[in-house]
Amino acid sequence: MPDGLEALVFDLDGTLVETAADLHLVLEEILSEVGLAAPPLAAVRGMIGDGARVLIERALAMIGAPAEPVLVDRLFARFRERYAEEPCRASTPYPGARELLRTMRERGIRMGLCTNKPQAATEGLLAALDLAPFFASAIGGDRLPVRKPDPGHLAAVLADLGATPAAAVMVGDSRNDLLTARGLEVPCVLVSFGYTSVPARELGADAVIDRLADLPEALVRLRAGRAV
Ligand SMILES: O=C(O)COP(=O)(O)O
Ligand SMILES: [Mg+2]
């Protein structure tokens, strides 16, 4: 492993786990409870990354339903409830995710999760996929007063890991992840296959990878200060 790298902090949705189908299922259920139809899965993929509340607001905007605060509050509560009940009906780790986490653990790298997904669903999903043991810290979007892109979210994960920003790298899929990392001057690697309305290569990350298996090599180049 590159000299000085002690900790990796991962985003969850769109980076380690393909979760769009489950988010879409829950969205369909809760919207049908109030007589509304969810946007198609392909559209929902572009709405993920800012937490469940923003996902609901974006879905309502797309179907032309007014985002009345009372309605959004109710849908948000139902979303958290239903998603926590069934966080993993259709979600799967991306190819190479489990192998990567194993490799990093063998190399002594401490790992954390910094996700805007609600805490209960985050923990349920990690448990269902047997990924929880890899992470010494997993902080969801509703556990702190702040969440990504606020760097305080990442700072809390690093504090749990006992790592300084200088010894860490953030791995994500969206502008939110990049902004969060930049706020602490933590280098950021983005995957190109996740959920982002702007292609990852256009966001200005320190490195962009097309497969999780490419992360170790990207980290070596990044820590050596070479272009990736
Ligand atoms: O928007 C969400 O629910 C979660 O997204 P993230 O895991 O990419 O932060
Ligand atoms: Mg993401």
Cis peptide before 133 (omega within 30 of 0): no
Ligand 2 centroid – CA 5 distance (Å): 22
Query: Does residue 226 surpass a pLDDT of 60?
Result: no
199 shares a domain with 105: yes
What pTM was estimated for this model as a whole? 0.95
178 shares a domain with 117: yes
- For residue 2, being part of any structural domain is answered with no
Residue 11 annotated as catalytic: yes
Q: Which domain-ending residue is among 42, 62, 85?
A: 85
Q: Is 11 annotated as a binding residue?
A: yes
CATH of the domain at 36: 1.10.150.240
37 shares a domain with 126: no
Predicted confidence (pLDDT) per residue in 164-223, tens digit = 999 999 999 999 999 999 999 999 999 999 998 899 999 999 999 999 999 999 999 998
Ligand 1 centroid – CA 3 distance (Å): 30
Active-site entry in 3, 11, 150, 160: 11
Predicted confidence (pLDDT) per residue in 75-122, tens digit = 999 999 999 999 999 999 999 999 999 999 999 999 999 999 999 999
Q: Which domain-ending residue is among 85, 106, 136?
A: 85
- Assess whether the C-beta atom of 177 lies below 6 angstroms from ligand 1: no
- Structural domain boundaries enclosing 67: 20-85
- Assess whether the C-beta atom of 165 lies below 6 angstroms from ligand 1: no
Ligand 1 atom with least separation from CA of 11: 7
CA distance 133 to 111: 10
- For residue 201, being part of any structural domain is answered with yes
How distant, in Å, are the alpha carbons of 3, 24, 40, 44, 224 from that of 62? 47, 14, 10, 10, 44
Phi-psi region of 69 (alpha: psi -120 to 50; beta: other; left: phi over 0): alpha
Ligand 2 centroid – CA 92 distance (Å): 14
Helix (H) or strand (E) holding 168: strand 168-172
Closest ligand to C-alpha of residue 171 is: 2
Q: Which domain-ending residue is among 85, 101, 123?
A: 85
Q: Among 209, 7, 196, which Cα is nearest to 114's?
A: 7
- For residue 228, being part of any structural domain is answered with no
106 shares a domain with 28: no
- Assess whether the C-beta atom of 153 lies below 6 angstroms from ligand 1: no
69 shares a domain with 168: no
Q: Under a CB-based contact definition with an 8 Å cutoff, are residues 200 and 188 in contact?
A: no
* Number of domains observed in the structure of the chain: 2
110 shares a domain with 63: no
179 shares a domain with 68: no
18 forms beta bridges with 92
114 shares a domain with 103: yes
- What is the predicted pLDDT for the residue at 184? 97
Q: Is 210 annotated as a binding residue?
A: no
101 shares a domain with 77: no
93 forms beta bridges with 17
Q: Among 142, 138, 178, which Cα is nearest to 160's?
A: 138
DSSP 3: T
173 shares a domain with 203: yes
- Assess whether the C-beta atom of 51 lies below 6 angstroms from ligand 1: yes
Ligand 1 atom with least separation from CA of 14: 8
| ipTM for the complex shown | 0.95
Q: Is 130 annotated as a binding residue?
A: no
Distance of CA 87 to the CA centre of its chain: 14
67 shares a domain with 107: no
Q: Coil, strand or helix: which one is 172?
A: strand
Amino acid residing at 78: R
CA distance 136 to 158: 10
**How large is the angle between the packed helices 69-85 and 52-63, nearest 10 degrees?**
120
Ligand 1 atom with least separation from CA of 118: 3
Within a 10 A sphere around the Cβ of 165, how many other Cβ atoms?
19
CA distance 69 to 57: 10
- For residue 1, being part of any structural domain is answered with no
163 shares a domain with 61: no
Residue to probe by mutation, ligand 1, list 9, 11, 25, 27, most atoms within 8 Å of CB: 11
